[in-house]
Protein backbone atom coordinates (compact mmCIF):
# COMPACT_ATOMS: atom_id res chain seq x y z
CA UNK A 1 0.00 0.00 0.00
CA UNK A 2 1.30 3.46 -0.90
CA UNK A 3 2.56 5.51 2.04
CA UNK A 4 0.47 8.69 1.84
CA UNK A 5 2.89 10.53 4.12
CA UNK A 6 6.06 9.78 2.16
CA UNK A 7 6.12 13.37 0.84
CA UNK A 8 4.64 15.47 3.63
CA UNK A 9 5.92 13.29 6.50
CA UNK A 10 9.45 14.76 6.53
CA UNK A 11 7.87 18.25 6.68
CA UNK A 12 5.48 17.40 9.53
CA UNK A 13 7.57 18.93 12.35
CA UNK A 14 8.19 22.14 10.43
CA UNK A 15 4.54 22.55 9.45
CA UNK A 16 3.32 21.93 13.03
CA UNK A 17 5.76 24.50 14.41
CA UNK A 18 4.99 27.05 11.70
CA UNK A 19 1.23 26.63 11.91
CA UNK A 20 0.87 26.66 15.70
CA UNK A 21 4.06 28.09 17.27
CA UNK A 22 4.46 24.72 19.05
CA UNK A 23 0.95 24.80 20.52
CA UNK A 24 0.26 21.47 18.78
CA UNK A 25 3.04 19.87 20.82
CA UNK A 26 1.64 21.35 24.04
CA UNK A 27 -1.79 20.04 23.11
CA UNK A 28 -0.43 16.55 22.44
CA UNK A 29 1.06 16.31 25.94
CA UNK A 30 -1.75 18.07 27.78
CA UNK A 31 -2.83 14.96 29.70
CA UNK A 32 0.64 13.51 30.31
CA UNK A 33 0.59 14.66 33.93
CA UNK A 34 -1.81 11.77 34.58
CA UNK A 35 0.57 9.14 33.23
CA UNK A 36 2.19 6.87 35.80
CA UNK A 37 5.19 4.54 35.39
CA UNK A 38 4.24 1.18 33.86
CA UNK A 39 0.90 2.47 32.53
CA UNK A 40 0.06 0.80 29.23
CA UNK A 41 -0.41 3.52 26.63
CA UNK A 42 -1.44 3.33 22.98
CA UNK A 43 -0.84 6.07 20.41
CA UNK A 44 -2.96 5.75 17.29
CA UNK A 45 -1.14 7.54 14.48
CA UNK A 46 2.33 8.41 15.71
CA UNK A 47 2.72 11.77 13.96
CA UNK A 48 6.26 12.97 14.61
CA UNK A 49 6.42 10.87 17.80
CA UNK A 50 6.96 13.74 20.26
CA UNK A 51 4.11 12.69 22.57
CA UNK A 52 4.96 8.98 22.46
CA UNK A 53 8.57 9.71 23.43
CA UNK A 54 7.48 11.96 26.31
CA UNK A 55 5.19 9.20 27.62
CA UNK A 56 8.02 6.64 27.38
CA UNK A 57 10.27 9.02 29.30
CA UNK A 58 7.73 8.87 32.13
CA UNK A 59 8.28 5.12 32.35
CA UNK A 60 5.11 4.08 30.54
CA UNK A 61 4.78 0.98 28.37
CA UNK A 62 4.15 2.69 25.03
CA UNK A 63 2.73 1.10 21.89
CA UNK A 64 2.38 3.10 18.67
CA UNK A 65 0.32 2.01 15.67
CA UNK A 66 0.75 3.76 12.33
CA UNK A 67 0.14 2.72 8.74
CA UNK A 68 2.88 5.07 7.52
CA UNK A 69 6.43 3.74 7.53
CA UNK A 70 7.59 7.32 6.99
CA UNK A 71 6.10 8.49 10.28
CA UNK A 72 7.51 5.50 12.18
CA UNK A 73 10.95 6.37 10.79
CA UNK A 74 10.45 9.92 12.09
CA UNK A 75 9.72 8.49 15.53
CA UNK A 76 12.82 6.31 15.42
CA UNK A 77 14.95 9.27 14.45
CA UNK A 78 13.71 11.28 17.43
CA UNK A 79 14.08 8.35 19.84
CA UNK A 80 17.62 7.49 18.73
CA UNK A 81 20.06 7.66 21.63
CA UNK A 82 17.33 7.90 24.28
CA UNK A 83 16.96 5.27 26.99
CA UNK A 84 13.51 4.26 28.22
CA UNK A 85 12.38 1.99 31.03
CA UNK A 86 10.28 0.17 28.44
CA UNK A 87 11.22 0.24 24.71
CA UNK A 88 8.59 1.80 22.47
CA UNK A 89 6.68 -0.95 20.71
CA UNK A 90 5.90 -0.13 17.07
CA UNK A 91 3.15 -1.63 14.91
CA UNK A 92 3.08 -0.79 11.20
CA UNK A 93 -0.59 -1.48 10.40
CA UNK A 94 -4.10 -0.07 10.09
CA UNK A 95 -5.41 0.76 13.57
CA UNK A 96 -8.63 -1.14 12.81
CA UNK A 97 -6.59 -4.34 12.53
CA UNK A 98 -5.21 -3.84 16.03
CA UNK A 99 -7.35 -5.87 18.44
CA UNK A 100 -5.84 -5.69 21.93
CA UNK A 101 -9.20 -4.85 23.50
CA UNK A 102 -9.68 -3.75 27.12
CA UNK A 103 -5.91 -3.44 27.52
CA UNK A 104 -4.72 0.16 27.73
CA UNK A 105 -4.75 2.68 30.58
CA UNK A 106 -4.62 5.48 28.01
CA UNK A 107 -5.43 5.54 24.30
CA UNK A 108 -4.26 8.72 22.56
CA UNK A 109 -5.59 9.97 19.21
CA UNK A 110 -3.68 13.20 18.72
CA UNK A 111 -4.32 14.96 15.41
CA UNK A 112 -5.19 11.57 13.94
CA UNK A 113 -8.97 11.41 13.67
CA UNK A 114 -9.11 14.53 11.48
CA UNK A 115 -7.56 12.45 8.69
CA UNK A 116 -10.86 10.64 8.09
CA UNK A 117 -14.38 11.28 6.84
CA UNK A 118 -16.99 11.56 9.59
CA UNK A 119 -18.28 7.99 9.30
CA UNK A 120 -14.78 6.52 9.37
CA UNK A 121 -13.76 8.83 12.21
CA UNK A 122 -16.63 7.61 14.40
CA UNK A 123 -15.82 3.99 13.54
CA UNK A 124 -12.18 4.46 14.56
CA UNK A 125 -13.05 6.37 17.74
CA UNK A 126 -15.38 3.54 18.73
CA UNK A 127 -12.57 1.05 18.05
CA UNK A 128 -10.12 3.07 20.15
CA UNK A 129 -12.61 3.13 23.01
CA UNK A 130 -12.75 -0.66 22.95
CA UNK A 131 -8.95 -0.83 23.23
CA UNK A 132 -9.01 1.09 26.54
CA UNK A 133 -9.43 -0.96 29.70
CA UNK A 134 -12.40 -0.54 32.03
CA UNK A 135 -12.14 2.92 33.62
CA UNK A 136 -9.25 3.66 31.27
CA UNK A 137 -8.95 6.90 29.33
CA UNK A 138 -9.28 7.97 25.72
CA UNK A 139 -7.58 11.26 24.83
CA UNK A 140 -8.30 13.24 21.67
CA UNK A 141 -6.10 16.22 20.83
CA UNK A 142 -7.08 18.23 17.76
CA UNK A 143 -8.38 21.50 16.31
CA UNK A 144 -11.04 22.90 18.64
CA UNK A 145 -14.56 23.83 17.60
CA UNK A 146 -14.91 27.43 16.37
CA UNK A 147 -16.07 29.71 19.19
CA UNK A 148 -16.62 33.35 20.00
CA UNK A 149 -18.27 35.99 17.81
CA UNK A 150 -18.99 35.67 14.10
CA UNK A 151 -15.68 37.23 13.04
CA UNK A 152 -13.65 35.01 15.40
CA UNK A 153 -15.45 31.87 14.23
CA UNK A 154 -14.91 32.85 10.58
CA UNK A 155 -11.13 33.13 10.99
CA UNK A 156 -11.00 29.90 13.02
CA UNK A 157 -12.80 28.05 10.21
CA UNK A 158 -10.39 29.51 7.63
CA UNK A 159 -7.46 28.48 9.84
CA UNK A 160 -8.73 24.88 9.90
CA UNK A 161 -9.59 24.84 6.19
CA UNK A 162 -6.04 25.80 5.20
CA UNK A 163 -4.63 22.82 7.13
CA UNK A 164 -7.39 20.57 5.81
CA UNK A 165 -6.60 21.52 2.21
CA UNK A 166 -2.82 21.09 2.64
CA UNK A 167 -3.24 17.51 3.84
CA UNK A 168 -5.96 16.78 1.29
CA UNK A 169 -3.56 17.74 -1.49
CA UNK A 170 -0.42 16.17 0.00
CA UNK A 171 -1.86 12.99 1.58
CA UNK A 172 -5.39 12.57 0.19
CA UNK A 173 -6.94 13.07 3.63
CA UNK A 174 -10.69 13.73 3.85
CA UNK A 175 -12.14 17.23 3.56
CA UNK A 176 -14.61 18.02 6.35
CA UNK A 177 -15.62 20.61 8.98
CA UNK A 178 -14.03 20.64 12.44
CA UNK A 179 -15.40 17.65 14.35
CA UNK A 180 -17.21 17.89 17.69
CA UNK A 181 -15.14 15.16 19.31
CA UNK A 182 -16.55 15.65 22.82
CA UNK A 183 -20.09 14.92 21.62
CA UNK A 184 -18.98 11.81 19.74
CA UNK A 185 -17.04 10.59 22.78
CA UNK A 186 -20.14 10.97 24.96
CA UNK A 187 -22.28 9.12 22.39
CA UNK A 188 -19.81 6.23 22.55
CA UNK A 189 -20.19 6.00 26.33
CA UNK A 190 -17.15 7.96 27.45
CA UNK A 191 -17.45 10.44 30.30
CA UNK A 192 -15.65 13.66 29.40
CA UNK A 193 -13.55 14.51 32.45
CA UNK A 194 -11.35 17.40 31.31
CA UNK A 195 -10.86 19.66 28.30
CA UNK A 196 -7.74 21.81 27.99
CA UNK A 197 -7.54 24.57 25.39
CA UNK A 198 -4.50 26.04 23.61
CA UNK A 199 -4.55 29.49 22.08
CA UNK A 200 -2.96 30.80 18.91
CA UNK A 201 -3.56 34.13 17.15
CA UNK A 202 -5.84 35.39 19.94
CA UNK A 203 -8.25 32.44 19.92
CA UNK A 204 -8.55 28.89 21.22
CA UNK A 205 -7.39 26.82 18.25
CA UNK A 206 -6.62 23.43 19.77
CA UNK A 207 -7.93 21.29 22.60
CA UNK A 208 -7.20 18.05 24.37
CA UNK A 209 -10.20 16.07 25.60
CA UNK A 210 -9.90 13.41 28.31
CA UNK A 211 -12.70 10.84 28.27
CA UNK A 212 -13.02 7.98 30.73
CA UNK A 213 -14.43 4.58 29.84
CA UNK A 214 -17.25 3.47 32.14
Domain ranges of the chain: 9-213
Q: What is the mean pLDDT of residues 123-135?
A: 98
| Residues near 142 by beta carbon (within 8 Å), at least 6 away in sequence | 27, 110, 111, 113, 114, 179, 181, 206, 207
- SS3 state of residue 209: strand
Contact 205, 20 (CB under 8 A): yes
Highest-confidence segment of 2-6, 16-20, 180-184 = 180-184
Of the candidates 46, 166, 164, 156, the residue with the CA atom closest to the CA atom of residue 116 = 164
The model's pTM is: 0.93
Average pLDDT over residues 107-115: 96
- Domain 9-213, CATH: 3.40.50.150
Amino acid sequence: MKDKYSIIGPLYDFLAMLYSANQIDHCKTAMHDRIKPDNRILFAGVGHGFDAIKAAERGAKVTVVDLSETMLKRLNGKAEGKEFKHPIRQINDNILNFDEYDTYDFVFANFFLNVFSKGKMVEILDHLTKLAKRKGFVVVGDFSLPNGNVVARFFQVIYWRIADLIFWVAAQNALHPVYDYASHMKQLGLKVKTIKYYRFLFDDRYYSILGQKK
